[in-house]
Amino acid sequence: MHPNPLYRTDDRALCESLIDEIGFGMVFAATPDGPRVAHTPLLSTGDGAVQFHLARGNALARHLDGMTALIVINGPDAYVSPRWYANRDTVPTWDYVALELEGGVRRMDDEGLEAFLHAAITKHEDKLDGAPWLAEESSEKVWGGLFRGIVGFELEVQAWRPTLKLSQNKPAEDRARIADGLDAAGHAALAHLVRSLEA
Protein backbone atom coordinates (compact mmCIF):
# COMPACT_ATOMS: atom_id res chain seq x y z
CA MET A 1 0.00 0.00 0.00
CA HIS A 2 1.31 3.43 -0.94
CA PRO A 3 1.98 5.53 2.19
CA ASN A 4 0.18 8.62 0.80
CA PRO A 5 -3.47 8.55 2.01
CA LEU A 6 -4.46 10.41 -1.17
CA TYR A 7 -4.09 7.09 -3.03
CA ARG A 8 -6.26 5.00 -0.68
CA THR A 9 -9.95 4.23 -0.68
CA ASP A 10 -12.47 2.64 1.66
CA ASP A 11 -14.70 1.66 -1.26
CA ARG A 12 -15.28 -2.05 -0.61
CA ALA A 13 -17.37 -2.41 -3.79
CA LEU A 14 -14.41 -1.12 -5.81
CA CYS A 15 -12.11 -3.65 -4.13
CA GLU A 16 -14.55 -6.46 -4.90
CA SER A 17 -14.76 -5.30 -8.52
CA LEU A 18 -10.95 -5.47 -8.81
CA ILE A 19 -10.99 -9.08 -7.60
CA ASP A 20 -13.81 -9.87 -10.01
CA GLU A 21 -12.42 -8.07 -13.06
CA ILE A 22 -8.78 -9.09 -12.70
CA GLY A 23 -9.42 -12.53 -11.24
CA PHE A 24 -5.74 -13.38 -10.79
CA GLY A 25 -3.18 -12.59 -8.14
CA MET A 26 -0.21 -13.62 -6.06
CA VAL A 27 -0.34 -15.31 -2.67
CA PHE A 28 2.60 -14.57 -0.37
CA ALA A 29 3.49 -16.28 2.91
CA ALA A 30 6.47 -16.91 5.14
CA THR A 31 7.18 -20.63 5.36
CA PRO A 32 9.77 -22.66 7.29
CA ASP A 33 11.62 -22.83 3.94
CA GLY A 34 11.61 -19.03 3.57
CA PRO A 35 9.20 -16.56 1.92
CA ARG A 36 7.21 -18.02 -0.97
CA VAL A 37 4.80 -16.72 -3.61
CA ALA A 38 2.27 -18.48 -5.81
CA HIS A 39 0.35 -17.10 -8.80
CA THR A 40 -3.27 -18.21 -8.95
CA PRO A 41 -6.81 -17.48 -10.14
CA LEU A 42 -8.95 -15.83 -7.46
CA LEU A 43 -12.65 -15.84 -6.72
CA SER A 44 -14.36 -13.61 -4.15
CA THR A 45 -17.09 -15.24 -2.11
CA GLY A 46 -18.77 -11.84 -1.75
CA ASP A 47 -18.77 -12.08 2.04
CA GLY A 48 -15.18 -11.16 2.87
CA ALA A 49 -13.26 -14.19 1.69
CA VAL A 50 -11.23 -15.03 -1.40
CA GLN A 51 -10.83 -18.55 -2.75
CA PHE A 52 -7.99 -19.94 -4.83
CA HIS A 53 -6.23 -23.18 -5.67
CA LEU A 54 -2.61 -24.25 -5.93
CA ALA A 55 -0.89 -27.23 -7.46
CA ARG A 56 -0.41 -29.83 -4.75
CA GLY A 57 3.35 -29.67 -5.34
CA ASN A 58 3.51 -25.88 -4.97
CA ALA A 59 5.96 -24.78 -2.27
CA LEU A 60 3.13 -22.97 -0.40
CA ALA A 61 0.49 -25.70 -0.59
CA ARG A 62 1.74 -27.76 2.34
CA HIS A 63 2.12 -24.73 4.64
CA LEU A 64 -0.86 -22.42 4.04
CA ASP A 65 -3.58 -24.08 6.11
CA GLY A 66 -3.86 -22.07 9.33
CA MET A 67 -1.33 -19.42 8.28
CA THR A 68 -1.73 -15.69 7.74
CA ALA A 69 -1.04 -14.83 4.11
CA LEU A 70 -1.11 -11.87 1.76
CA ILE A 71 -2.83 -11.78 -1.63
CA VAL A 72 -1.78 -9.08 -4.09
CA ILE A 73 -3.88 -8.21 -7.12
CA ASN A 74 -2.28 -5.93 -9.69
CA GLY A 75 -4.47 -3.77 -11.88
CA PRO A 76 -3.41 -1.58 -14.77
CA ASP A 77 -0.14 0.33 -14.43
CA ALA A 78 2.10 2.54 -16.57
CA TYR A 79 4.96 5.01 -16.63
CA VAL A 80 3.91 8.67 -16.39
CA SER A 81 6.18 11.05 -18.30
CA PRO A 82 6.94 14.61 -17.11
CA ARG A 83 6.32 15.70 -20.72
CA TRP A 84 2.59 15.42 -19.91
CA TYR A 85 2.76 18.10 -17.16
CA ALA A 86 2.38 21.82 -17.67
CA ASN A 87 5.56 22.27 -15.61
CA ARG A 88 8.24 19.87 -16.86
CA ASP A 89 10.58 20.71 -13.96
CA THR A 90 9.65 17.51 -12.15
CA VAL A 91 10.38 13.77 -12.28
CA PRO A 92 8.70 10.71 -13.83
CA THR A 93 6.41 8.49 -11.79
CA TRP A 94 4.27 5.40 -12.17
CA ASP A 95 0.49 5.27 -11.90
CA TYR A 96 -1.04 1.96 -10.86
CA VAL A 97 -3.88 0.12 -9.19
CA ALA A 98 -3.17 -2.61 -6.65
CA LEU A 99 -5.03 -4.40 -3.90
CA GLU A 100 -3.48 -6.20 -0.93
CA LEU A 101 -5.60 -8.62 1.07
CA GLU A 102 -4.33 -10.03 4.36
CA GLY A 103 -5.94 -12.75 6.39
CA GLY A 104 -6.03 -16.24 7.75
CA VAL A 105 -6.08 -19.16 5.33
CA ARG A 106 -7.91 -22.44 5.64
CA ARG A 107 -7.79 -25.42 3.35
CA MET A 108 -11.07 -26.22 1.60
CA ASP A 109 -12.57 -29.68 1.70
CA ASP A 110 -13.24 -31.56 -1.54
CA GLU A 111 -16.81 -30.25 -1.76
CA GLY A 112 -15.63 -26.65 -1.41
CA LEU A 113 -12.89 -27.14 -3.99
CA GLU A 114 -15.38 -28.68 -6.44
CA ALA A 115 -17.77 -25.73 -5.97
CA PHE A 116 -14.91 -23.25 -6.42
CA LEU A 117 -13.76 -24.88 -9.66
CA HIS A 118 -17.26 -24.90 -11.16
CA ALA A 119 -17.89 -21.26 -10.12
CA ALA A 120 -14.53 -20.11 -11.55
CA ILE A 121 -15.07 -21.97 -14.82
CA THR A 122 -18.57 -20.55 -15.24
CA LYS A 123 -17.40 -17.01 -14.44
CA HIS A 124 -14.61 -17.03 -17.00
CA GLU A 125 -16.42 -19.01 -19.69
CA ASP A 126 -19.30 -16.51 -19.52
CA LYS A 127 -16.88 -13.72 -20.49
CA LEU A 128 -16.02 -15.41 -23.78
CA ASP A 129 -17.99 -15.41 -27.01
CA GLY A 130 -19.65 -18.60 -28.17
CA ALA A 131 -20.92 -21.67 -26.42
CA PRO A 132 -19.22 -22.14 -23.04
CA TRP A 133 -17.05 -25.12 -22.22
CA LEU A 134 -18.56 -27.17 -19.40
CA ALA A 135 -16.67 -29.13 -16.77
CA GLU A 136 -18.86 -32.12 -17.65
CA GLU A 137 -17.02 -32.30 -20.99
CA SER A 138 -13.97 -33.63 -19.12
CA SER A 139 -13.81 -37.37 -18.65
CA GLU A 140 -13.79 -38.72 -15.11
CA LYS A 141 -10.11 -39.60 -15.61
CA VAL A 142 -9.13 -36.08 -16.69
CA TRP A 143 -11.25 -34.29 -14.05
CA GLY A 144 -10.10 -36.67 -11.34
CA GLY A 145 -6.47 -36.07 -12.33
CA LEU A 146 -6.96 -32.31 -12.03
CA PHE A 147 -8.70 -32.71 -8.71
CA ARG A 148 -5.95 -34.91 -7.26
CA GLY A 149 -3.29 -32.47 -8.43
CA ILE A 150 -4.59 -29.31 -6.71
CA VAL A 151 -5.50 -28.01 -3.26
CA GLY A 152 -8.19 -25.39 -2.60
CA PHE A 153 -7.84 -22.57 -0.06
CA GLU A 154 -9.91 -19.71 1.30
CA LEU A 155 -8.42 -16.54 2.77
CA GLU A 156 -10.69 -14.72 5.23
CA VAL A 157 -9.82 -11.07 4.56
CA GLN A 158 -8.96 -9.21 7.77
CA ALA A 159 -7.28 -6.21 6.07
CA TRP A 160 -8.15 -4.61 2.71
CA ARG A 161 -5.33 -2.35 1.47
CA PRO A 162 -6.06 -0.83 -1.93
CA THR A 163 -3.81 1.63 -3.73
CA LEU A 164 -5.21 3.76 -6.55
CA LYS A 165 -2.27 5.93 -7.58
CA LEU A 166 -3.83 7.82 -10.48
CA SER A 167 -2.12 11.22 -10.42
CA GLN A 168 -4.58 12.60 -7.84
CA ASN A 169 -1.79 14.92 -6.66
CA LYS A 170 -1.84 16.77 -9.98
CA PRO A 171 -4.21 19.57 -11.11
CA ALA A 172 -7.12 18.70 -13.41
CA GLU A 173 -5.35 20.06 -16.49
CA ASP A 174 -2.33 17.83 -15.91
CA ARG A 175 -4.55 14.83 -15.20
CA ALA A 176 -6.28 15.34 -18.55
CA ARG A 177 -2.91 15.47 -20.33
CA ILE A 178 -1.70 12.41 -18.41
CA ALA A 179 -4.80 10.47 -19.46
CA ASP A 180 -4.27 11.50 -23.09
CA GLY A 181 -0.62 10.47 -22.87
CA LEU A 182 -1.52 7.11 -21.36
CA ASP A 183 -4.08 6.55 -24.12
CA ALA A 184 -1.51 7.35 -26.80
CA ALA A 185 0.97 4.96 -25.15
CA GLY A 186 -1.56 2.09 -25.29
CA HIS A 187 -2.75 2.16 -21.67
CA ALA A 188 -6.46 2.81 -22.24
CA ALA A 189 -7.68 1.14 -19.04
CA LEU A 190 -5.39 3.23 -16.86
CA ALA A 191 -6.25 6.39 -18.83
CA HIS A 192 -9.94 5.71 -18.20
CA LEU A 193 -9.31 5.37 -14.46
CA VAL A 194 -7.29 8.61 -14.34
CA ARG A 195 -10.20 10.39 -16.06
CA SER A 196 -12.93 8.83 -13.96
CA LEU A 197 -11.44 9.06 -10.46
CA GLU A 198 -12.23 12.36 -8.80
CA ALA A 199 -9.13 14.12 -7.55
Burial of 6 (0-12, 13-18, 19+ CB in 10 A): exposed
pTM for the model stands at 0.92
The Cα 116–Cα 43 span in angstroms is: 8
Give the domains, in start order, of the chain with CATH numbers. 5-78+94-168 (2.30.110.10)
Nearest to 108 by CA among 121, 100, 118, 99: 118
Nearest to 73 by CA among 52, 57, 104: 52
pLDDT at 187: 97
pLDDT tens by residue, the chain, 199 residues = 788 999 999 999 999 999 999 999 999 999 999 999 999 999 999 999 999 999 999 999 999 999 999 999 999 999 999 999 999 999 999 999 999 999 999 999 999 999 999 999 999 999 999 999 999 999 999 999 999 999 999 999 999 999 999 999 999 999 999 999 999 999 999 999 999 976 4
The Cα 102–Cα 7 span in angstroms is: 19
8 A C-beta contact, residue 182 and residue 194: yes
The Cα 56–Cα 49 span in angstroms is: 21
